[in-house]
Amino acid sequence: MTKKQTLTVAMIGQGFMGRAHSNAFHQVGHFFDLPYEIGLKVICGRNPDKLAAMASQWQWEEVSTDWQKVVSRPDVDIVDVAVPNVLHAPIAIAAAQAGKIVLCEKPLATSLADAQRMAQAAHSVPNLVWFNYRRVPAIAFIKRLIAEGKLGQIFHYRANYMNQSGNSSGKSTAWRYQKDEAGSGALGDLLSHVIDLSIYLNGPISQLNAMTNTFVPGRDVDDAVSTLVRFSNGSVGTFEASRYGVGCRNRNTFEIQGSKGRLSFNLEDMNHIEFYDATLPGNLQGNSKILVTGPDHPYEENFWKPGHGIGYEHTFIATLGDFLTSLSRKEAFHPNFEDGLLVQKVLDAVEKSAQSRSWISLS
């Protein structure tokens, strides 16, 4: 048997994404046939007690509370950035300058200037942004159906991302609600996913007009954002994101209408899509709910047999699996920092539009 190359990982962040990524590093070799072994070298966070427990639970070899020392260690190949948004730029740039493979959580940065510096720094190293929803099999299948022309000419792209995380008085001190740590609120946290998916599925955005709202007096980030968009392909769209979407746990939805039909998706029911085929005889037209777990669906080779659903964690495993496959073949991978920068340009335009109450054009 050929000996596999070991890629060692330093992960910065021990929170929610720290767990999701740890799981992906453990699982990726079980579901993807890769020429690499993954070595969980060091996990870095701020709280030493929690770090030790986390390292033991997820089998990280070492712990550290100093990311600056970790990112340039010669025994580290991959630096994975899973910390509050404001730290993405300094850590990712330092890691890229040290020649590491860099994986970074979304949104890429807290400002367009930082995102540009990050994309520049990462130019010469393999890199990834964790816009993991591209790898939901149902969404990858929608991408394929659109490419096959099943929707014809696209007219409408309607998307929203709602949760109710803000509707709780205890949250206001968390980093996600502080501009200096998060950059923005629902905008960077939730709408960044909506924007990335819309570009992935429907192409570049040419113009937008946006409104943001903050429900809590004195809070310096947005709680909700609404956007009207024009796409370069001539279609129009509306995007909405809110942390006050009471009744929604993690409702990331979109609906696309074209001359030949309609496709829709809801992350809360992530193994299904709805498809309305407007090319059928009128008396047969109707929304069909399709279970996207095979046969002939994306990732059916990697995960379970048809009819056996997958979950949130598989989106991270599939993202990492595709990234490592591309790395081994020396092929380009998306979404990378350039894709993260494109999203950041739209986030920046949303903020400018909301402030100036005007339409903004994107080149």
List contacts with ligand NAD (CB under 6 A).
12-18, 44-47, 67, 82-85, 87, 105-106, 130, 132, 189
CB of 191 to ligand NAD, least distance (A): 12
Residue closer to ligand NAD (CB basis): 185 or 237: 185
- Rg (C-alpha) for the chain, rounded Å, is 21
Closest residue by Cα to residue 95 from 73, 62, 65: 73
The secondary structure of 72-139 as a DSSP string is T-TT--EEEE-S-GGGHHHHHHHHHHTT-EEEEPSSS-SSHHHHHHHHHHGGGS-EEE--GGGGSHHH
CB of 42 to ligand NAD, least distance (A): 11
Residue closer to ligand NAD (CB basis): 52 or 291: 52
Residue closer to ligand NAD (CB basis): 87 or 343: 87
Q: How is the beta sheet containing 287-291 ordered, strand by strand?
A: 287-291, 272-277, 261-266, 251-258, 154-162, 236-242, 224-231, 205-213, 360-361
Residue closer to ligand NAD (CB basis): 186 or 360: 186
CB of 106 to ligand NAD, least distance (A): 5
CB of 262 to ligand NAD, least distance (A): 26
Residue closer to ligand NAD (CB basis): 193 or 345: 193
Cβ proximity of 190 and 161 under 8 Å: yes
Helix (H, G, I), strand (E, B) or coil at 199: helix
CB of 103 to ligand NAD, least distance (A): 11
CB of 276 to ligand NAD, least distance (A): 28
Residue closer to ligand NAD (CB basis): 261 or 335: 335
Report the sign of the C-alpha dihedral through residues 341, 95, 316, 43, in that order.
negative
CB of 132 to ligand NAD, least distance (A): 5
Report CA 301 to chain centroid distance, whole Å: 23
CA dist 81 and 73 (Å) reads 15
Cβ proximity of 253 and 163 under 8 Å: no
Residue closer to ligand NAD (CB basis): 26 or 150: 26
CA dist 321 and 329 (Å) reads 12
Residue closer to ligand NAD (CB basis): 155 or 175: 175
Residue closer to ligand NAD (CB basis): 184 or 212: 184
Helix (H, G, I), strand (E, B) or coil at 145: helix
The secondary structure of 298-361 as a DSSP string is TTTTTS-STT----HHHHHHHHHHHHHHHHHHT---SS-HHHHHHHHHHHHHHHHHHHHTS-EE
CB of 83 to ligand NAD, least distance (A): 4
Structure tokens at 99: 């020649």
Report CA 107 to chain centroid distance, whole Å: 8
Residue nearest to ligand NAD (CB): 15
CB of 358 to ligand NAD, least distance (A): 28
Q: Tell me the CA distances in angstroms from 116 to 4, 40, 89, 106, 190, one per residue in order.
A: 35, 30, 10, 14, 21
Residue closer to ligand NAD (CB basis): 298 or 340: 340
Cβ proximity of 81 and 87 under 8 Å: yes
CB of 117 to ligand NAD, least distance (A): 17
